[in-house]
Amino acid sequence: MAQLRIDGLTKRFGAVTALDAVDLDIPDGAFVAMLGPSGCGKTTLLRCLAGLERPTSGTIRLGEADITTLPPERRGLGMMFQSYALFPHMRIRENLRFPLKMRGRGDAAAQDAKIDEALRAIRMEGMGDRYPREISGGQQQRVALARAIIADPPLLLLDEPLSNLDAQLRKQMQIELIELHRRIGLTTILVTHDQEEALSLADLVVLMNAGRIEQIGAPRDIYRKPATAFAAAFLGGANLLDVVVENGLARAGDGTALGPLAAPDGPRRLVLRQEALALRDAPRPGEATLAARIVAVAFNGATSRVVVEAAGQRLELTVPAAAIEGRAAGATAQLCFILADAPLV
Amino acid sequence: MKRETALLLAPGVLVLTLGFVLPVLRVLTLAFDAKTGFGLDNFARFFADSFYPLVAWRTVRLSLVITLVTALFGAPLALVMARAPRWLRMALIVVVVLPLMTSVVVRTFGWLVILGRGGLLAQTLAYFDLAGRNFSLMHTETGVVLAMVQVLMPFVTLTVLSTLEKIDPRLEEAARVMGANFWTTLRHVVVPLAMPGLVAGSLLVFALSASSFVTPGLIGGVRLPVLGATIYQQVTGTLDWGFAAAQATLLLILALVVALPYAQGARRAGASR
């Protein structure tokens, strides 16, 4: 295992810049999630790491070695594809044997032992003689993961590994991935567009947008303290309220005084998480408040999603279903939040 | 069977019956038609001396060589085409298919000009002092193979291309990441998955070359007769339809003897996916 170091990595496809001078250090044993909308460059970055794309410029270092231009077969990495990429003409055993055979790991007997161990670990003993099309999607997914790590790679790359599974199986596999990572401590890089998956699996989230890294941080930090408007909106779908700071006092767009804010003068945007907003008849002590009109209410069971209009902007909030009872579209209420808890971007 | 299915099948069944089943039955009855009614006279004549068995052997041997060479040249070309950008692939398809658009006679005369004494090939080789002035590939099996491969290659190239296009490119990438280089990936992943196309294409080539007679006739000449040519000669020259039918029957049997085990093996290989 080794530290991964990416310096100024750039990849252009004709006139399109998929990766724009990306710098990233990944510590040994980390579980990193590359998160971002489609086309943000996260998959291109992963493919550059695997050697499937040649970067236009920049370097990739794994431990001491510069692997930027090394062909994929000489990097010794493990990778799992979104489509699993199991060989349809090989039985499960032979699929698992492939990386061992190609890397010349042990004789046939040693490989057999390793394959049996892997099949046991994914609870598929006795299914080694089946073909990939004869097992379920969840089993294919586990075989693909086992095949990616069977030759003990220093780095595991996962390209949207769970997106082909149904919601229930996905939750279960997320837990298994976390356990696997904790058990063998393998440096893992996961590419996903699913923010919930990134937040729950990784201990380091790399948020990407338009070929650049938007923010790097622990899941909690990146959620609580988004550095940019993009980070705030992409993670958790936060509201961005336009405010103007004047002599340390924040005012909403309609002129309502919200309270003191330690920030330089000028227009700012306030990040208001859906769960940080509440609708009441009157604010509690210490809360900032805005007059709001309810536009729509959507009942979700335990919670309700409410769209309101306040200070000339539409804002969304999620509240306990009981808290909104008696209020309907068209009614007015006070939109309350704690100003000091809301980050500025 | 549903009425719609029956209606949809009808035209095909009609054409097959009139154009294939009935003629084949007629050929079979002709072949076994002896002076004394049903008999093997026509077949006895075929095996009376070594001439016709040798013709049959040449036919099978040439067809196998042609099939092998088209596969060796056509399949790698298909791989290049599968990887090429769209415009280049279209251009290559046109180049590969173009020979099929030309009349077989015109195309073969083209080869006469190239292969004959004092032809393009002879002149070129002579220029580099690689062969004498009167070098010629006319009336040689090499010449026949060359001319046949040129026209039959699209059958292998296009069928292999269509199977290659269906292979998920991620499979090759996965193999590379797992430590296989380009050639081992080709051997363990691409070739096995492209096998059905290669088998179908080479079966077509084998059947077409076993039954061809214009190109072998013009380039091989009378010194290198093949079954197609001797059958043609019996039908149009000596008008001995019974003997022609017997030869046709033997050709059919030979083709089946080669093709069936091949198709069987391919089915077994195909069943494993």
Please count the residue pairs, one from chain A and one from chain B, whose beta carbons lie less than 8 angstroms apart.
Answer: 66
Note the pLDDT of residue A238: 83
Task: Say yes or no to pLDDT of B265 above 80.
Answer: no
Q: How far is B46 from chain A (nearest CA, A)?
A: 46
B170: nearest CB among A81, A99, A133: A81
How many other CB atoms are found less than 10 A from the CB of residue A288? 22
Q: Which residues of A touch B270 (CB under 8 A)?
A: none
Per-residue pLDDT at A210? 94
Q: For all residues of chain B together, what is the average pLDDT?
A: 90
In this prediction, residue B243 carries a pLDDT of 93
Q: Do B176 and A77 touch (CB under 8 A)?
A: no
Our CA-based measurement puts residue B202 at a distance from the nearest CA of chain A, in whole angstroms, of: 21
* DSSP secondary structure of A121-172: HTT-TT-TTS-GGGS-HHHHHHHHHHHHHTT--SEEEEESTTTTS-HHHHHH
Average pLDDT over residues A278-301: 89
A237 has pLDDT over 80: no
For all residues of chain A together, what is the average pLDDT?
A: 91
Cβ(A106)–Cβ(A115) under 8 Å? no
Phi, psi of A160 (to 5 degrees): 45, 55
CA end-to-end span of chain A: 37
Find where tokens 């093709």 sit: B259
Residues 79 to 138 of B: which have CB under 8 A from any A CB?
A: none
* CB spacing of A72 vs B173 below 8 angstroms: yes
**All domains of chain B in start order, with CATH:** 18-101+150-271 (1.10.3720.10)
Residues from chain A that touch B178, judged by Cβ atoms under 8 A, are 73, 98-99, 102-103, 147, 151
What are the residue ranges of CATH 3.40.50.300 in chain A? 4-227
Q: A11: helix, coil or strand?
A: strand
Q: How confident is the model at residue B270 (pLDDT cuts 50, 70, 90)?
A: low
At a CB cut-off of 8 Å and minimum separation 6, what does A207 contact?
A35, A36, A213, A214, A215, A216, A222, A230, A231, A234, A235
* pLDDT of B183 higher than 60: yes
The per-residue pLDDT for B222 is: 86
d(CA B134, CA B79): 38
Contact B180 A89 (CB under 8 A): no
Residue span(s) of chain A under CATH 2.40.50.100 come to 238-341
Handedness of CA B184, B188, B194, B195 (dihedral sign): positive
Please compute the mean of the pLDDT values over residues A308-321 and round it to a whole number. 89
Reported as a single tens digit per residue, the pLDDT across A156-180 is: 999 999 888 888 888 888 888 888 8
Instruction: Provide, as residue numbers in chain B, all residues whose Cβ is less than 8 Å from the Cβ of A85.
Output: 168, 170-171, 173-174
Residues 6+ apart with CB under 8 A from A173: A138, A141, A161, A162, A165
- Quote the CA–CA distance of A18 and A16 in Å, as a whole number: 6
Interface residues from chain A to B (CB-CB < 8 Å):
50-52, 71-73, 75-79, 81, 83, 85, 87-89, 98-99, 102-103, 131, 133, 147, 151, 157
3 state SS of A197: helix
Q: Stretch A25-37: mean pLDDT, rounded?
A: 94
Asked if A51's CB is within 8 angstroms of B176's CB, the reply is yes
The domain A4-227: what is its CATH number?
Answer: 3.40.50.300
Mutate to test the interface with B, among A13, A67, A73, A83 (most CBs of B within 10 A): A73
Percent of all residues in chain B with a pLDDT value above 90, rounded to a whole number? 66
Binary contact (A88, B273; C-beta < 8 A): yes
pLDDT digits (tens, 9 = 90+) for B120-175: 888 888 888 888 777 888 899 999 999 999 889 999 999 999 999 999 999 999 99
Q: Do A147 and B189 touch (CB under 8 A)?
A: no
What number is the average pLDDT over the span B52-65?
94
**For residue B191, what is the nearest residue in chain A, using CA coordinates?**
A89
Residue A73: is its pLDDT beyond 90?
yes
* pLDDT tens digits, one per residue of A125-155: 999 999 999 999 999 999 999 999 999 999 9
What pLDDT, on a 0 to 100 scale, did the predictor assign at position B267? 67
Q: Are B170 and A83 an interchain contact pair (Cβ–Cβ within 8 Å)?
A: yes
Q: Do B178 and A76 touch (CB under 8 A)?
A: no
Long-range CB contact pairs, A215-221, < 8 A, 24+: A216/A24
Give the residue from chain A lying closest to B171, CA to CA: A85
Question: What ipTM goes with this model?
Answer: 0.84
Within 8 A by CB and 6+ apart from A95, the residues are A86, A87, A132, A143, A147
Strand partners, A319: A304
Q: Which residue has the higher pLDDT, A71 or A266?
A: A71
Among chain A residues, CA nearest to B268: A89
Of A29, A67, A63, whose CA–CA distance to A49 is shortest? A67
- The answer to whether A52 contacts B177, with C-beta atoms less than 8 Å apart, is yes
Inter-residue contact A187 to A155 (CB < 8 Å): yes
* Chain B: closest CA distance from residue A76 (Å): 7
Return the residue of A nearest to B184 by Cα.
A102
Contact A189, A20 (CB under 8 A): no
| Cα dihedral sign, A175-A176-A181-A184 | positive
Predicted local distance difference test score (pLDDT) of residue A1 = 45
Closest CA in chain B for residue A156:
B177
Confidence of residue A342 (pLDDT cuts 50, 70, 90): confident
* Structural contact between residues B260 and B207, judged by C-beta atoms closer than 8 angstroms: no
Report CB contact under 8 Å: B178, A151. yes
B193–A89 CB contact, under 8 Å? yes
pLDDT score of B100: 85
Whether B272 has a pLDDT exceeding 60, the answer reads no
- pLDDT higher than 60, residue B273: no
Half-sphere exposure of A186 (CA within 13 A, CB side): 25
- From residue A224, alpha-carbon distances to A219, A233, A343, B232 in Å are 9, 12, 8, 87
Q: What is the CATH topology of the domain spanning A238-341?
A: OB fold (Dihydrolipoamide Acetyltransferase, E2P) (2.40.50)
For B200-253, the pLDDT digits (tens) are: 999 999 999 999 988 898 898 888 999 999 999 999 999 999 999 999 999 999
Q: How many helices (H) and strands (E) does chain A have?
A: 8, 19
- Distance from C-alpha of B241 to C-alpha of B230, rounded to nearest angstrom: 12
Split at pLDDT 50, 70, 90, the class of A327 is confident
